[in-house]
Amino acid sequence: MASDGRLAEAPPPNAIDLADLAPIQRRTTIVLILMQITGTVGVGVAPSIGILLAGEVTQNEAWAGLARSASTLGAAVFGLPLGSLAARHGRRVALATGWWTAGAGGMLLVVAAQLSLVVPLFIGLLLIGAGSATSLQSRFAAADLAEPRNKARALGLVVWVGTLGSVLGPNLGIPGEWMERATGLTVFASAFLIAAVCLLLAGAVVFALLRPDPLTLVRQVVPEAQPGRTGPRRGRLRQVMAELRVNPPARHAVLAVLTAQVVMVSMMTMTPVHMAMHGDTVTIVGVTISLHIVGMYGLAPLVGRIADLRGHRFTILVGVGIFLASLVVGALWPDQTGGIIVSLILLGVGWSFVNVAGSAMFSTVVSQQNRATSQGGVDALSNLCGAVAAFVAGPLLVLSSFSLLAILSIGLLVPLTVVTVLRRHVTVG
């Protein structure tokens, strides 16, 4: 019987046993690894260089705050369409489209940085946000063919390999300085040129090599995974919302993913601005964001293994504790570079625990029929909340302090903590 209570259709004659797909799963994972490493180099440029470029071009804190949230808003805007595209045409088409859209944004940012143009800056950052949405959805692609007991580990592995690219991205200002001397482009324009090339290449890699498509193939294994025949996107959204209303574990997973994103984005987005105000160089800012990203992705395979063995609830609670430690350090030592670096590393680790566990839980408890669309919807909502947090955090930092921003972020952890402590029946993938 299907998860929505209806009788499942009999499997087609050519259905494949999940255990027989291990070689294809390994190939899929390798392609996703190559794609992630390449693409996240381009995505990683937005949290540091993109934020600094926004301040330089706009010369206005209000406009700079909006520009800083543009890439996160772009991830929100593209999350659901890419999820719907995957539901209709498979992961290969959706992932390639996302990377190529981000690559176009990167090329536009080269022009914006070189000529100090405000409108191309906003549009470019919005488009490059598609890369973030694509990187997030790749973790679900890794779990499509994974056996239930290994979903969190497969998801965590693809999150982890993004570490290399995401660490290099914030430091593209260094090769950007070399290109500036050689080409006459500004440092920021050179950095975004490198980013654009990487994003376009990531799209080419996944489009050429992700065959067979994991989402298309899994529909042969699980007949109820066939997408619902509800016509337009509005019908698919109604299905997803209807399921969330009657699926408490799915709502818990969504709360975990949203909380992790809002807390992380609100603090991480303002850190380069805060450090620059205290005289730290672009290099120090880049290193700090890189270490933060190592925290986000570096332990992801271990986090996935913990979630598979100890359960999603336990893993989320560990992440909440690490988040709390990060925010306490940030609140107590906001003017010390060392304290900020420690806070940002812990912030990334906390995000990893909560996000990986929440994402794996969601993939496990949501129905197969709505999975691709709902995964895109969760990422879209997550990034939309992150964009709002980034926009609100700017004025808060200007009007108050980094310490107050950390204290307010602690308050955001309370609902997730209460729900996770009280909800003891969450199933383990």
Residue 100 to residue 199: CA distance in whole angstroms:
6
Amino acid at 381: L
In a domain, 250, yes or no: yes
Q: Domain range spanning residue 400?
A: 18-422
The SS3 call for residue 401 is: coil
CATH of residue 183's domain is: 1.20.1250.20
In a domain, 356, yes or no: yes
378-420 pLDDT, tens digit per residue, is: 887 887 887 788 778 877 777 778 888 899 999 999 999 999 9
In a domain, 427, yes or no: no
Burial annotation 354-383 (CB, 10 A radius, 16+ → b, else e) = bbbbbbbbbbbbbbbbbbbbbbbbbbbbbb
Give the residue ranges of DSSP H helices in 184-299: 187-209, 214-221, 233-246, 248-277, 282-297
In a domain, 106, yes or no: yes
CA atoms within 13 A on the CB side of 35: 34
In a domain, 289, yes or no: yes
- Total domains in the chain come to 1
79-103 pLDDT, tens digit per residue, is: 878 888 988 889 999 999 999 999 9
CA 161 to chain centre: 13
In a domain, 429, yes or no: no
Low-confidence residues of the chain, pLDDT below 70?
1-20, 46-48, 51, 60-68, 165-167, 169-174, 176-177, 180, 221-240, 424-429
Tokens of 87: 């539901």
In a domain, 188, yes or no: yes
In a domain, 171, yes or no: yes
